[in-house]
Every structure is written in C-alpha cells, then in structure tokens.
Amino acid sequence: MANEDLELRKAFFTESVDILESIEEQVSVLEVSPGDLENVNGLFRGLHTIKGNSSFLSLDSITKVSHAAETLLDKARKKEIPVDKVVVALVKKVLSCLQSMIMDQNTDLDVSEPVSLISKFLKGEKIVIDDNSIVDEKNATQVANQKIQTTKFIKIDDVKVNKLVSITRELELLRYSLEKTPEKMEVLGPQLDDLRFEVDLLVSKMSRLTRSLSGIMFGIRLVPVGQVFNRFPKVVKELAAKLGKDIRLEIKKGNAELDKNIVEAIADPMTHLIRNSADHGIETLEDRKRSRKKAQGVITLDSYVRGNFVFIEISDDGKGIDGDKILEKAIEKGIVPKDKVGSYTNAQKLSLIFAPGFSTAEKVTDISGRGVGMDVVKSNINKLKGTVLIESEPGKGTVIRLRFPMSLVVMFSLFVEISDSCYGIPVEQIDESIDYNAGEFLNEIPQGSDPSKFMEVYSIRSLLWGQQEDAKKSLLHTLKFKAKSGENKLFLVDEFLSIEDAIVQSLDSYIAAMPGLQGATVRKDGSVATILNPDSLLDIASKVKPFAFVPVKEKDKTEDVNLADFLGFSDGSSVA
Amino acid sequence: MQHENLSVVIFEVAGKAFAVDLDLVDEVVPTTKITSIPNSPPFLLGLTAVRGRVVAVIDAAKRFFQRPNIFGYFLVCNVRGNLTAIAIDQPIIAGDVCIRSLEENESTLYLSVLDMDKRFILKSFERLDSEKKEDGSVTIKKTGQIVHLVNADLFVSHEMASKVGEVA
C-alpha cells in the first residue's frame, strides 16, 4: 500500500471511530425517542460522512452498508416511513457491521445481509429481524489487509486545560497590576528606593515567567490549520478521475493555527466543500474549452490570519454561481417567500445555498450527495463558532471563506478614548496617527481642488453610536488604518490613552457579528475594553458621508509623535 | 399535597421570583462595571469581566418586561453554549427546592397578571417549605411564593442567535 494511501486510511479510521461513537449514542436515542427528527438527521449525517469518505478509499463494504442505512434514514427523516422497531433494528445491524469493520480494520466483511434486508424492507417486503443477531464472524471473509496503527494521543481532560488557561489569564492580569507597583512606590519617597528596586527586579522576573507561561498555555491547544490540508490532494485526484475532469489542487502554505478541536472538526465540512467545487464548480473539459479556459481546473486551499480571525479559503476557477439562479431555485423550493426577495443583495442570494433542503444537484450522486452538504457544512462550522462567507462571479469561480475567531491572542494594542469609553486597536493594523487643528477641517472639498489631495475624516463616535462630534475641540486626533481601502480615510478619536499588550478574547458569536468589533480584553482595572476592527470600520465608513475633509499632509516626523511617544521612539518615526 | 424537588436557582427580577435550572448556572456575583456594545439590542447591556473572562450582560428586566430596573447581581449562566451574565435584583436560593407545580388554570391566572413575554416561561410553581421533624417525618407547608421557571436559552434572542455564523 502506498504511503499516501496509508496516511489517508489512518485518517479515515481515526475520524470514523469518533463518528461511530456519536452514531452509537444517536441509535440509543432513536430507540427511546424515535420521533426526534434532529437525532435522525444527526444519524443520517454521520452515515453520510462515513459513506463519502469510504468511497474515496474504495472501502466498498463500508460504503455499501452505510449507503443502505443512509437511504433508510433519508426516508425516515422525510417522514416517508415511520421509525419503528424494524428501522431501529436495521440501523443497529448496520452499526454493528460498521463497528466490526472500522474498529477491527477488517474492511471486507460481507455486508450483503443488512443491505438486502434494508432493500427488501424499503420495497415493502416483510422481513424478520432477530434482535440478538449480530454479524456472523464465520461469514466474514477476512482478506489479508494491512492493519494500520492509528496515532496515539495523550488525552488531557478539557476542563483541566481550560482551568490552566483561566488561571494563566488571571495571573496575567495580576502581572499587569504588579508591574505598576514600583511606579506607585516611587511617589512615596526616596526612603523606599531600595525596596522599589527589589520589587522591580522581582516583577520583571515574574513578568518573564508569566509571559512564557502564557505563550505556552494560550498555544497549547493550537495546531497548524494546514495539517488538515494534507489529506485533500488524494481526494481531489480521485474526484477528478471519477468525474472525468482535469483538476489540480493547489495548497498555499499558510501559517495560521487554530484550536485542535476545530482543526479536527473542519476536515469533514472542508471535504464537502471541495467535493462541491470539483463536482459543481469546475466545468467539464468541453465546457472549459468553450469558455476559453485552461483545460485544467484549479482548486486552491489557503489559510491566513486577519486581525483576531483565522480564515480558511477554498476557491476554484470554475463556472461560479449565479445569484439569480440560486434565488429562483430557492423560491421554487419554498425556502424563501417570493414577495420578500426584492431587496436581496447578491451575497444574500448566494447564501441561500446554505439553506436546509437546498440542492442544485440534478441527481443524487455519491460525490456531492443529496444536497445535505451545504447546510451540514454551515451547521458544523457554526457549531465551532465559525462563519461561512461566499463570493462568486459567474464564469470566473467561487471563493468560500471559513472564518474562525482566535480564542485567545495577545495583541499589542493602542488604547483610545471615545465618548468616555476605552477601546483598543491592534497596533499592527494602524498605519499612522495624525493630529489636526480644528480649523483644518473642511465640510467639503473646495470647488476646483483635486480630491486626491484630501483625506476623508470619519467619526468613530458617530459610526458606532450615532452621536455627534464635539464641535468645540481645538486639537483633533485621527488614526489611519493599514487596510488597502483605508488609504484616504482617517478616523477621529478623543484621546490616546496607552499602548500595551492586550489578551484579546473572542466574543460570543452573536456579538462578534455586530459591526466594528473584533474582540474584547480585560484591562488592569478589571473593566472590559472592546477591540475595534479597522476593516469593519472602513466598511461602515464606505457607506456613509465623511464627517469632514482635510488636506493631505506630507508625512511629517512630528505628526506621528503621539503613537511614537508611547512606543518610546524619540525620533518620531512611524510605528507601523 | 403533591410536591416534588427541583434543582434550581431562584432569583428576583423587578420584585418577581424566577428560577433557572441549577445546571445552567456557573456562579452568582455582585455586579461589576459594564462596557456597552455599539448597535446592540436594548437588553444587551454590554460586556463585563468575571474572573478574567469577558462575558455578555443581559438585563433580565428589560428582556422580560421591556423596562429598566435596578440590578445588584449577575447570574452567570450558560446560554446557547456561551457564558452570559444575567443582571438580576438578587438571588434567593440555590439548590434542591421543594415545589408544587401549578395546575394549568392556576398557572394561566398567575401568568395573565404578569405583564411579560410568556415565551420565556417553561412552567410556574409554588415554592414549599419542607420541615423534617425529629421522628423523621416531613411536613410540607405552603409559602404562597409563585416562581416562574425560565428558559435560559431565550435570554439571547433567536434573531441574535441566528446571526451566529451569519452568511454574508
């Protein structure tokens, strides 16, 4: 067996053992509450995943038996058949088959009995199930199959790791307060000098230790996102062969890291997305030729960090998705009412492919299945506190971005005051800070002037809170962000407070969805400061009129003095 | 008298008694400083720090009765998988509580005078006093205190929760 195959099989078995565990639980729920539709759906998805994965590895018995059970459950979830004792018994029979094949890695078991029982049952024939029957070992033809050693991990109780992380976080806060102590002692007088020096020394030692500890603790759960990409070249190769298309998978070397649980859990939704790209996205050879595209279609995987988020990108250069066609289909299927779609943006139209029950597949195939793919993808990503974003241009291709908040991250941030509240902005996202006299602000660009010689000024107070700017101020502090769309935009803040390390915590996803924010941090005094998201602020700003205009200033060393002071730069050079 | 034990935290909001399942409650702490969040619904007061963790604060009075109220404590609960602080007047009792479930007509009567969104209420009950005597027998006495068991999931609205993983 080729090494590549071994790796894939290893991954399949490791993943399937987990899925089987949940299937086992779901089967016991099925016995006591057969009417639980969510449970039936869960069972169906589990079997669907096993079927899909096994079909790529040509583990035919597993594919066959899980396909049969999937068909049975599909009818049950559509309420075409009731979930009665026979259905439960059939599912249990399949589960036992799968357990024998997957746990013992004996993949060539004879599965004709459960498969034919299910097919007879679905045809309405009477079948007799012996509840105690399990797959007869004697009938199982054991083929010499290379046993695969699944990777062994040391399991550490999640609760314990979380407790350690939480203690580390409290320790960090303590460090922040302690670091300020020598300063406070200084004002008490020179007699305390020796003691101050001693405390200073101890604090700096402790700081070093807590910093290293934090570094380890906050990273202990993180693994490279790219790890999961390695399983896909084979998947794509097989897909291309099955579909008769020429497809290349390009993996970009991103360095993003995510929580181990997330990385393990995204493999499955990613597989769905990649299958969809190959099946529906990349055109047939003839179609590509007709569109004057290169014969070889490309699917690209990438991962990167932006602000407090990790993005995973799956893009293809296929035929793209037509928002209007999607909308049409969604109306046809009764997913959205016809009278409410008038104002739908293209993004909203595209997002309908994630609605339950939506499928653009003309027929059921064992590649992209029965249209369970996309809504399962969304619900799985949501469970991991992630978001799915989709962009597509008909004829050019589709980009699907999975966005996950980084659970804990230390960001060197500038703290500013706006309307008596404190906000943080990651320094790496700030280009420069510029101060203006109130007199320099103009309501409009003077007639006949070149607009490119003016900067647009936006008020964060008004963008976030809808409040007016204080007209009486004489000196105005502005920030320019590093984002590409921020080149001509400045943002007003009231005061610069400090620059310090902030442990940024991700927000509950419904709060994170509110515009302008990317996280929050606990400050030294125990209060919470939200961390602003420059990209999102720029986005909001692009939809409103600027508060004022100012002439572009030549980059003058003295202008950066505020930010530079905090950073301890004496020459006033830009911090960014 | 028909009675049963319920494992809950009973607390007061705008002078009325409510309860949530004990399993959902992490801790009860006196209120601390709240940082407001832009563009958020009125009942989402903002963010606060509980033991170094940032948690959202939801005003129970605004959520239930659409009116502001003075609150003294945060009930730190697990709402839709997230730790959330619910601002309440004060906690009353936590643990196994002896109760009598109200008959449907009785419950309807109590709820009809309660000027709030009924979707929040899972069921209503009367809190009972149970006293163990020296001979081991237990006497149960009525207290007249009506408590409404709330569905903690609904503290965060469906609209807000649906923003979770919003597809843009």
Whether B165 is in a domain gets the answer no
CA A428 to chain centre: 22
Average pLDDT, chain A: 80
Distances (CA, A) of A211 to A203, A217, A239, A426: 12, 10, 47, 19
Whether B88 is in a domain gets the answer yes
Q: Does the pLDDT of residue A370 top 60, yes or no?
A: no
3-state SS, residue A572: coil
- B36 at A interface, C-beta within 8 A: yes
**Residue spans per domain, chain A:** 3-139, 158-220, 223-405, 408-567
Q: What is the pLDDT of residue A510?
A: 77
Residues B17, B31: Cα–Cα separation, whole Å: 19
Q: pLDDT for A204-239, tens place per residue?
A: 888 788 877 877 777 777 788 887 888 888 889 888
Query: How many Cβ pairs closer than 8 A exist between chain A and B?
Result: 99
Residues A423, A443: Cα–Cα separation, whole Å: 27
**Contact between B53 and A169 using a beta-carbon 8 Å cutoff:** yes
Touching A: B residues 90-129, CB under 8 Å: none
- B163 at A interface, C-beta within 8 A: yes
Determine the residue of chain B that is closest to A518 in CA distance: B37
Q: pLDDT for A278-291, tens place per residue?
A: 988 899 889 899 98
Q: A408-567: which CATH topology?
A: SH3 type barrels. (2.30.30)
Nearest CA to CA, how far is A68 from chain B (Å)? 33
Q: What is the pLDDT of residue A492?
A: 93
Average pLDDT over residues A334-342: 75
CA angle A339-A340-A341, nearest 5°?
100
Q: pLDDT for A152-198, tens place per residue?
A: 456 677 778 777 887 887 787 778 778 877 777 777 777 777 888 88
Q: Residue B49's domain spans which residues?
A: 4-158
Domain A3-139 has CATH 1.20.120.160: yes
Band (A135; pLDDT cuts 50, 70, 90): very low
Query: Cα dihedral sign for A340, A342, A348, A349?
Result: positive
Chain B residues inside the 8 Å CB shell of A173: 52
- B30 at A interface, C-beta within 8 A: no
Whether B150 is in a domain gets the answer yes
Domain CATH for B35: 2.40.50.180
Whether B112 is in a domain gets the answer yes
Whether B49 is in a domain gets the answer yes
Chain A residues inside the 8 Å CB shell of B161: 510
Whether B168 is in a domain gets the answer no
Q: What is the pLDDT of residue A263?
A: 86
Tell me how many domains chain B contains: 1
Residues A348, A341: Cα–Cα separation, whole Å: 9
Band (A142; pLDDT cuts 50, 70, 90): very low
Choose, out of A261, A511, A524, the residue to mutate when testing the contact with B (most B CBs < 10 Å): A511
Determine the residue of chain A that is closest to B50 in CA distance: A526
Q: What is the pLDDT of residue A35?
A: 79
Q: pLDDT for A372-401, tens place per residue?
A: 567 778 878 877 777 888 899 888 999 999
Determine the residue of chain B that is closest to A382 in CA distance: B165
Q: What is the ipTM of this complex?
A: 0.84
Domain A223-405 has CATH 3.90.79.10: no
Nearest CA to CA, how far is A383 from chain B (Å)? 9
Whether B38 is in a domain gets the answer yes
**Chain A residues with at least one Cβ partner in B under 8 Å:** 166, 169-170, 172-173, 347, 351, 354, 378, 381-382, 385-390, 421-422, 464-465, 505, 507-511, 513-517, 520-522, 526-530
Q: What is the pLDDT of residue A372?
A: 54
Q: Does the pLDDT of residue B167 top 60, yes or no?
A: no
Nearest CA to CA, how far is A555 from chain B (Å)? 33
3-state SS, residue A368: coil
Q: What is the pLDDT of residue A331?
A: 86
Q: Does the pLDDT of residue A414 top 90, yes or no?
A: yes
8 Å CB contact between B56 and B49: no
**Contact between B82 and A508 using a beta-carbon 8 Å cutoff:** yes
**How many Cα atoms within 13 Å fall on the side-chain side of residue B86?**
35
Residue B47: which of A170, A347, A528 has the nearest Cβ?
A: A528
